[in-house]
Amino acid sequence: MAHCTTPEAEQLLDKEIPVLDKGFIRLVDYMGSDDRIVQAARVSYGEGTKSYREDRGLIHYLLRNAHTSPFEQVSLTFHTKMPVFVARQWVRHRTARLNEISGRYSIMKDEFFVPSLDSIAAQSSDNKQGRDEQPLPPEQAQAVRDGLIEEQRTAFGLYNERIEQGLARELCRVNLPLSLYTEWYWQIDLHNLFHFLKLRMDHHAQAEIRAYAEAMFEVVKAVCPLAAEAFEQHVLGAVHFSAQEFAALKRHLVESGNEDLDGVSAAAEKEGMPSRETERLLAKLRTGRNV
């Protein structure tokens, strides 16, 4: 079987894509492409000769119906530089393999994340883990930013002093703040990367890790454009209903006189939905099952 590559991904190899003020992601290596996904899916009855349209349809079918194992045949390896607080959120995704720079062996660099003025905001009143959408007034935000920079300088100055005094590096690092930049190599298969992106590109995710996820998705588009398209369609841009929510929706359609669902069909047409997908939507509404 030939090695699956794409010209767009080859052009991205080893190129730093800037993220935040001092961070980046870099595609170090990848294995597989859309071709590998369809080859893996068709292995039970042979590859045969398939068109681009059929490959696209198969990939959409697989993702739409959560047949995820063919996506595990594609893997990507990133070299990433991010603040420690972002890394600690990132590492919660335990389905990857990683190797991080160690402050026990290395002298840490004087590199800290400093938020931009328009990203400095008060605690959200309706989101316990996030910030308000409205930034602080410029003068107040500048004061916060200046304070963060001064505290970072103080912490790194003390770290440097202890390094020069010959104290063990593993002890010198203990008071360095979460804004310090760290680096790692991170390898993950496409199925689990899609799970990471679903969570970290969501508007509830912290803005800083969302920036990394969005940059990584641009790389995925280069490696597997059809799979990325299917992910946007069926996962990233999709909304799922609970059984009770769906029952309420169906009851509304029935009670509003749309038992034949003509209104839904007309709306789908206005959205530019292909007829086959419209039929699938109507079947879902009629049966309450994925089709």
- Would the pLDDT of 79 be above 60? yes
Q: What is the pLDDT of residue 127?
A: 80
The answer to whether residue 51 scores a pLDDT higher than 60 is: yes
User: What are the tens digits of pLDDT across the range 114-133?
Assistant: 999 999 999 988 888 889 98
Over residues 92-105, the mean pLDDT reads 94
Average pLDDT for residues 264-287, to the nearest whole number? 80
How many angstroms separate the CA atoms of 185 and 102, rounded? 12
Please give the angle made by the CA atoms of 25, 113 and 205, to the nearest 5 degrees: 65
pLDDT at 199: 96
Q: What 8-state DSSP symbol labels residue 44?
A: T
CA angle 9, 11, 16 (to 5 degrees): 95
**Predicted local distance difference test score (pLDDT) of residue 126:** 84
Q: What percent of the chain has pLDDT over 90?
A: 71
Instruction: For residue 200, indicate whether it is catalytic.
Output: yes
Q: CA-CA distances (angstroms) from residue 37 to 5, 167, 189, 242, 252?
A: 12, 52, 12, 30, 40
Predicted confidence (pLDDT) at residue 286 exceeds the cutoff of 80: no
Predicted pLDDT at 145: 98
Helices (H), 43-83: 52-64
The residues, any chain, with a CB within 8 Å of residue 198's CB and separated by 6 or more, are 235, 236
Q: Which of 26, 36, 173, 200 is catalytic?
A: 200
97-101, 155-159, 165-169, 270-274: lowest mean pLDDT where?
270-274
- Topology of domain 7-104+180-236 in CATH is Gyrase A; domain 2 (3.30.1360)
Residues 6+ apart with CB under 8 A from 43: none
Strand runs labelled E in the chain: 16-19, 23-31, 75-83, 97-100, 121-123, 131-135, 181-189
The pair of structure tokens assigned to 155 is 């912490």
Q: Which tokens go with 175?
A: 């008071």
Residues 6 or more apart whose CB falls under 8 angstroms from that of 204 comprise 127, 130
The pLDDT value recorded for residue 47 is 55
Asked whether the predicted pLDDT for residue 237 surpasses 90, the reply is: no
What value, to the nearest 5°, has the Cα angle with vertex 165 and ends 163 and 166? 65
255 touches 262 (CB < 8 A): no
Better-scored residue on pLDDT, 94 or 231: 231
Exposed / middle / buried, residue 157 (Cβ in 10 Å: 0-12, 13-18, 19+): exposed
pLDDT, position 46: 56
pLDDT of 265 above 90: no
Task: Considering only residues 265 and 112, tell me which one the structure prediction assigns the higher pLDDT.
Answer: 112
Q: Mind listing the pLDDT tens digit for each residue in 152-163?
A: 999 999 999 999
Domain ranges of the chain: 7-104+180-236, 119-175, 243-287
Cα–Cα separations (whole angstroms), residue 265 to 7, 33, 275, 280, 281: 40, 35, 9, 11, 9
The whole-chain average pLDDT of the chain stands at 91
This prediction has a pTM of: 0.90
pLDDT digits 0-9 by tens, 254-263:
777 665 667 7
DSSP string across 134-147 = EEPPHHHHHHHHHH
Distance CA 92, CA 102 (A): 18
Give the pLDDT confidence score for residue 291 in this predicted structure.
Answer: 65
Summarize the confidence of residues 38-54 as an average pLDDT.
73
User: What is the three-class DSSP state of 124?
Assistant: coil
Please say if the pLDDT value at position 87 is more than 90. yes
Q: Is the pLDDT of residue 1 over 70?
A: no
